[in-house]
Every structure is written in structure tokens, then in C-alpha cells.
Amino acid sequence: MKYQPISSELFSGNREKLAKLLSPGAIAIFQSNDLMPTSADGLMPFVQDADLYYLSGIDQEETILVIFPDFPDDKMREILFVKQTDEHIAVWEGHKYTKQEASEASGIKTIIWVDKFEQVLSGLMAEAQEVYLNSNEHIRAVVEVETRNARFTKWCQAQYPLHNYRKVAPLMHELRAIKSRSEVQQIATACDITEKGFRRILEFVRPGVAEYEIEAEYLHEFIRNRSNGFSYEPIIASGDSACVLHYLENNKICKQGEVLLMDVGASYAGYHADMTRSIPVGGRFNKRQRSVYDAVLRVKRAAMEMLVPGNTIQKYHHEVGQLMESELIGLGLLDRTDVKNQDPSHPVYKKYFMHGTSHHLGLNVHDVANVYRPLEPGMVLTVEPGIYIPEEGLGIRLENNVVIQSDGVLDLMKHIPVDPEEIEDLMNA
């Protein structure tokens, strides 16, 4: 790992919270992610299952976590199973956790090699009344590859068919929606690294540079600051490409007179930043670009004020839509007749602002949470309105990451330039 070690107190605290939500006599079992193949003997970079990481801090494949709060032997109430290394693995793959290192990282005292898991599980299941198993229940998930958790669920239910099985995902969604102080600090660090990348870009961008060169500049700055790299595939979209919401080619040359939209974020210690900025390639916005930029910025600032405890995502998105409707009328993109005659289920503002304004952020970029749950202090969300005008070759989106508090949001990106005059000054310094 490139990041600085995190205190095991974070993960121990997370396990304690989960243990309180389990039913009496229940056991919960979490599997790591697989190493994913590309083709031939190639492998993708390993990304840990977010729930297992949240509960253990272990960033390694072939890891299993068992939590059994009511087991008679207190040494077996938390067990971490990790891959046993050998000389061959050490030479070809590098260092793996020792038992002591795994214990120090996770705060779990009982560490067992993973090849003993089935043998140990037999004794645990004999005492278990219910079994909580994990699955990916993110409402936007598209899962076409069978995961390690899914394979284990089928095996466990076949091996122990008379147990009662329950879903642990709703409990994890409940817990992970509220970030601890330590988690907020990790996200803040990811935001700080993202700021460094953006400031580097403001000095670098000029007419004639390629989008992929800008991507490379970000990556350089992220990695040199202990990031694992991008939180997600970066969007570096100049001109009309900014109107493609998930533009990923990043292969065009940036031209004088265009606006460059960049949706990027650094990953740090498993946590993510998610920033969007739109800048003038030539260093100055023209009048029309500035008008659209100012409209988006006004909506962003107003939206941040709406993120208060008790509000709901559904109500909030509706209120932001009304703000955007007014701005689009002011820009001449809509008129009041359009609004008067619109179908309320398909508001006309969505022609130019077709995505949501906010989503939860944390160990996943689109973090798990119940979207019908009212906002609470400790939730971390993005704020990202945008206006996209394909006929003008112009797309502008602005995005910050904020923490819900009882007295207004904490803006984790308040130090990242967003004021148009400041951006122009930095680009022309």
C-alpha cells in the first residue's frame, strides 16, 4: 500500500457497531474480492471489498472475516483468516500480511490461515442460530461476474442448509452512511491530493495540449502524494465532449476558445474524492461561457445550503431542479411557456441538466446508503450541478464533496479553486 497506515481503532469500532445490530446468536461472514483476470495470465490491480475493508482494514486478497459476538469462547468472536505466504509467493508477488501484521492492522487478536477456514467454520456453525452473508445490493449495481461472496453463499447454504440466513448488506448500508471522524479525515486527505492535481493542471493547460496529457499530469501528482491513483476512470472532456456525461476517451486536443470539463478524484487509503472543475483552455472564459459557469456555480452554492439534517435526497433533487429551471430561463435555454406546459414527471430542465445533484461518497465513489433515509450529520455527499448545451459545444459541471453537519455542511473542497476569477488568475500567472 502507498498510504500511511490507519489506526486499527477505526476498524475495531466499526465491528463493534455491526455486532450491536446482529440478532442474538448470529454469525456474520465477509469475503474479500477476487483477483480479477484480464486475459492470458494478466490480472487487474486488486481492489478490496469495501465492507470487508470497513470492518478489518485488510487490503489483501483471499481474506475472510468472521464476527460471532455471542460465541462461548471469546477468542473466537472475531476471527480474521488471511493467506499464508511462502517463499515462492514472496519472490513472485511480494510481501503478504504476517499474522502479527494482520492483527495490528485490524485490531483482531485471532488470526488464522485461510486454508483452515472450512475446518474452523464447522465448529462455529454448530453454535450459530442465524447466518448473515454479504452481497452487492447497491441500487445501481450491474453485477455480471460471480463474486467471492456469491460463491460462498451458494457453498454455505448447500453445506449448512438448515440454518436461517439473513442479508447483512442493509446493516452495512446503515453503518457506512455515517462517517466517523477518522473516515472523514481519509476523505479529506483524498480531497487534498485532488487539489494538488488540479493546481498542477491550472499551470499546465493551454491550447494544443491533449486530454490524455492532462490525465497523465493528474496521475503523476496523485501517485507522488501516496494516492493509489484515480478514484474512478477520469473524465477529461474538452469542447463538445463535455456534453457526454461519461466521456472516457480522453484523446482529443484542447483548442483555444473551448471549456475543459474535468471530473477526477484521488483515491487514498480506500477512500475517495470526487471533484469536477470546468476551466477555459485559453485561460479566459468568453461572455457566454462565463454566464453558464456563473449559473452552475449559483446552483451549487444554493444546493450546499439545502443539505441539512432531515432533508431527503428526493426533496433536495426536486428543489435543485427548480433552481436550475430558473437559471436555464435566464440563459435563454428555456422559456416560461416550456415550463408551464411541461410534464411534471419529465421536467424540461432535464434537457440541459439530466443527472442527479448529489450522491453518497466514501469507500465507494457512489457509496452505499438507503436513498430514502433522511440526511444526518456525518453523511458525506457530492454536490455537482451542471449545464450541458450540445448545440453550443459547451458543458460545465462543478463538484465539491461535503460533510453534513447540524449547523451547515463542512466543505472538504473549499480550498480547491472554483471562483472563475481565481481560476483565470491562476491560469495566467
Cell of residue 313, nine digits: 435526497
Could you count the other beta carbons within 10 Å of the beta carbon of residue 420?
18
263 is catalytic: yes
70 is catalytic: no
**Residue at grid coordinates 430542465:** 349
Which residue in the list 240, 274, 367, 424 is annotated as catalytic? 274
388 is catalytic: yes
Which residue in the list 211, 367, 399, 424 is annotated as catalytic? 399
Which residue in the list 70, 355, 373, 411 is annotated as catalytic? 355
Which residue in the list 246, 288, 318, 415 is annotated as catalytic? 246
290 is catalytic: no
Which residue in the list 138, 166, 366, 373 is annotated as catalytic? 366
Which residue in the list 263, 325, 327, 424 is annotated as catalytic? 263
397 is catalytic: yes
Which residue in the list 77, 148, 359, 360 is annotated as catalytic? 359
288 is catalytic: no
Please count the residues of the chain: 429
Sort strands 78-82 and 110-113 into parallel, antiparallel or unpaired: parallel
73 is catalytic: no
Amino acid letter, 109: K
**Up-side HSE of residue 204: CA atoms within 13 Å toward CB?**
19
Which residue in the list 41, 86, 391, 407 is annotated as catalytic? 41
Under DSSP, is residue 233 helix (H, G, I), strand (E, B) or coil? coil
86 is catalytic: no
355 is catalytic: yes
CA distance 270 to 364: 8
Handedness of CA 63, 109, 228, 242 (dihedral sign): positive
Q: Which helix (H) or strand (E) element contains residue 200?
A: helix 181-204
Handedness of CA 351, 353, 356, 361 (dihedral sign): positive
Which residue in the list 34, 240, 384, 424 is annotated as catalytic? 384
Cell of residue 261, nine digits: 470539463
State the Cα angle at 404 between 345 and 263, rounded to 5°. 65
359 is catalytic: yes
Which residue in the list 34, 316, 388, 424 is annotated as catalytic? 388
Cα distances (angstroms) measured from residue 280 to each of 239, 259, 261, 368, 394: 10, 4, 9, 35, 11
What are the E-state strand segments in 207-345?
229-230, 235-238, 259-264, 266-268, 271-272, 275-280
Which residue in the list 397, 407, 421, 422 is annotated as catalytic? 397
Could you count the other beta carbons within 10 Å of the beta carbon of residue 4?
10
88 is catalytic: no
> Catalytic site residues?
41, 246, 263, 274, 355, 359, 366, 384, 388, 397, 399
